[in-house]
Amino acid sequence: MRFEKMHAAGNDYIYINLFEEKVENPGELSIRLSERHFGVGSDGIVLIGPSVQADYSMLMYNADGSEGLMCGNAARCVGKYLYERGMTSKNEISLSTKSGIKHLSLKINNSTNKVELIQVNMGKAILSAKDAGAKGYFQLALNEMIDYPIQFDEQKYRITFVSMGNPHAVIFLHNIESLEIEKIGPKIEHLNLFPDRTNVEFVEVVDSKHIKMRVWERGSGETFACGSGACAAVVAGNIIGKCKSKAKVNMRGGQLEVLWDKASKEVYLTGDAHFVYKGEI
């Protein structure tokens, strides 16, 4: 089976082309390949295939074998893959995912014919957990969480919930570098508030147009970046007055730009993507 490893802001996945390869048990394969000492090493696998509703489809599986709903960075990598591997000549691509159809816009370097930047329309940010649950994405115990106080281990946190087609609990802190994320991340992920678990973003404000973030991903642990998490962080930050609706988001793997269009309520994620290597197993 042939694959390609790609990353966007350090968010690395193993990409498999279903037009050429057959995958019978993707969850099990993701566990095996994602292991960083005994496998290829990744945040999970992404399967690129045909779609009736869109130009192509994207299915993703986390490092623990669970199926993911959506990953903005993975979607951007798929856009680069499709164009640079000759599967499309279009710079506007539609992609079906478990959280709906996403639209990609590619910025092409005319001299090299390479993809420089990929913007993905992540869809509307959903603040009502009830509405998100009604769409079948996940279930949440409360209808809405904005700057919602929680406490455990004698520590107090304030959570703002945002769905980008997958659940995000956003927490603003004064210093994210000293955070014991391996200890705190899984506790919030598994809170009773989130029956289907949640992604957790820990955010520090640099200024009104620039934030820093560390992310604990549901099913993968801490990752270098999370596109949908960056979107959720900007939306949450704007709602509670921490940042503008357009901001740069620095993560351990790099920088992304997020725009929350207040008129349409849609969120746009922009950044580059990179091939790492090809392999065969």
**Global confidence as pTM:** 0.90
pLDDT for residue 219 is more than 90: no
CA atoms within 13 Å, Cβ hemisphere of 115:
30
Assign 205 a pLDDT band (cuts: 50, 70, 90): very high
User: What is the per-residue pLDDT for 195?
Assistant: 85
| 72 has binding-site annotation | yes
User: Which residues partner with 278 through β-bridges?
Assistant: 4
| 166 has binding-site annotation | yes
Q: Which of 71, 77, 231, 243 is catalytic?
A: 71
Q: How far is CA 34 from the centre of its chain?
A: 17
Assign 27 a pLDDT band (cuts: 50, 70, 90): very high
pLDDT for residue 140 is more than 90: no
pLDDT for residue 137 is more than 80: no
Q: If you classify domain 129-264 with CATH, what class do you get? A: alpha beta
- Name the amino acid, one letter, at 139: Q
pLDDT for residue 132 is more than 90: no
Cα separations in angstroms, 71 against 7, 33, 58:
12, 18, 10
Show the tokens assigned to 275. Answer: 């091939």
Q: Which of 77, 226, 231, 243 is catalytic?
A: 226
pLDDT for residue 200 is more than 60: yes
pLDDT for residue 135 is more than 60: no
- How does DSSP classify residue 97? E
Assign 103 a pLDDT band (cuts: 50, 70, 90): very high
Judge if 2-121+271-280 and 129-264 fold alike in CATH terms.
Answer: yes
| Residue 34: its H or E element | helix 26-34
| 228 has binding-site annotation | yes
| 250 has binding-site annotation | no
Q: Where are the domains of the chain?
A: 2-121+271-280, 129-264
Specify whether 226 is catalytic: yes
CATH number of 2-121+271-280: 3.10.310.10
Specify whether 77 is catalytic: no
